Homo-oligomer: A and B are copies of this chain.
Amino acid sequence: MLSVVIIGSGNVAQHLIKAFSVAAEINLIQAYARRPEKLAHLLPPEKITDIISELADADVYIISVSDDAIADVSAQLSFSGRLVVHTSGSTPLEILNSNNRRGVFYPLQTFSLAKEIDFSTVPICLESEFVDDHKTLQIVANAISKSIYNIDSAQRQALHVAAVFVSNFVNHMYVLGSEVSSQNNIPFDILKPLIKEVADKVTSLPPLQAQTGPAVRGDQKTISRHLDFLRNNRQLSDIYTLLTHSIQQTNEQKL
């Protein structure tokens, strides 16, 4: 059985701790937190430390801290030659201190402390400096997820950009849609079945084929009416114009 130490107490760290705690094939032996009380609801006191120089021996150390802190934390580790990975989507493997064998264990999902997640569906993107370590990471990943990918640092950067589009920017579209509806006394609830259906659709249909609406139809009359409706809101009309143009441009290139 492989032993794991988690370093960090944030969002992702807490979800990982929960997932490993119930994984039969993994022994989560310790977690490090600067403020141990943040993990008190997840682990017994003897498994939590706030002294980074006293980490237990383990097969894998998973650093799950903010991107800016990864280099620092990895340099503070008092051992060498062990397998140390980070969980960041936008940070190269090389940020880790080279005293240890380096790797990446990136779960591609949006995590909230308030919302439970079924970790078995979360894609885990693996990268490692050494082939043998890759096998170890695969065992660790398989213990909590059914969805494992090999993604190198260059691909991971692309993936992180793609994730911003399909996640952060998508959520911002929800924000803008809810703004338009609330300003016109329309409950946001009315849009939720549509939101769900659009997301459902791309699980079975390539998004390019799923595109609907005035832009892709070339329905200039409706587009003009919408822009007229938005004429007093620069932010919304700029976005409407740019995205309408982008839909049409993409459509011309691809079809």
Q: Count how many chain A residues have C-beta atoms less than 8 Å from C-beta atoms of the other chain.
A: 92
- Cβ B240 vs Cβ A242 within 8 A: no
Known: A165-B177, A222-B67, A247-B168. Is A110-B183 also a contact (CB below 8 A)? Answer: no
Q: Is the interface of A mostly helix, strand, loop or mixed?
A: helix
In the complex, chain B residues whose CB is within 8 Å of the CB of A159: 181, 184, 186, 190-191
In the complex, chain B residues whose CB is within 8 Å of the CB of A250: 172, 175-176, 179, 235
- Cβ B108 vs Cβ A191 within 8 A: yes
A213 at the interface (CB under 8 A from B): yes
A63–B149 CA distance with the chains assembled, in angstroms: 50
Known: A158-B180, A161-B230, A216-B168. Is A199-B201 also a contact (CB below 8 A)? Answer: no
Identical chains bound together, number: 2
A80 at the interface (CB under 8 A from B): no
Other 16 A-B pairs with CB < 8 A, given A123-B190, A161-B180, A242-B242: A90-B226, A154-B184, A158-B184, A159-B191, A160-B222, A161-B230, A161-B240, A162-B186, A165-B240, A166-B195, A168-B247, A171-B210, A171-B213, A172-B207, A176-B246, A179-B250
23 contacts between A and B (CB under 8 A): A68-B221, A108-B191, A109-B193, A109-B197, A110-B194, A110-B197, A112-B210, A115-B201, A115-B204, A123-B193, A154-B184, A157-B225, A159-B181, A160-B226, A162-B177, A162-B178, A163-B194, A164-B214, A166-B191, A171-B213, A175-B211, A178-B206, A235-B250
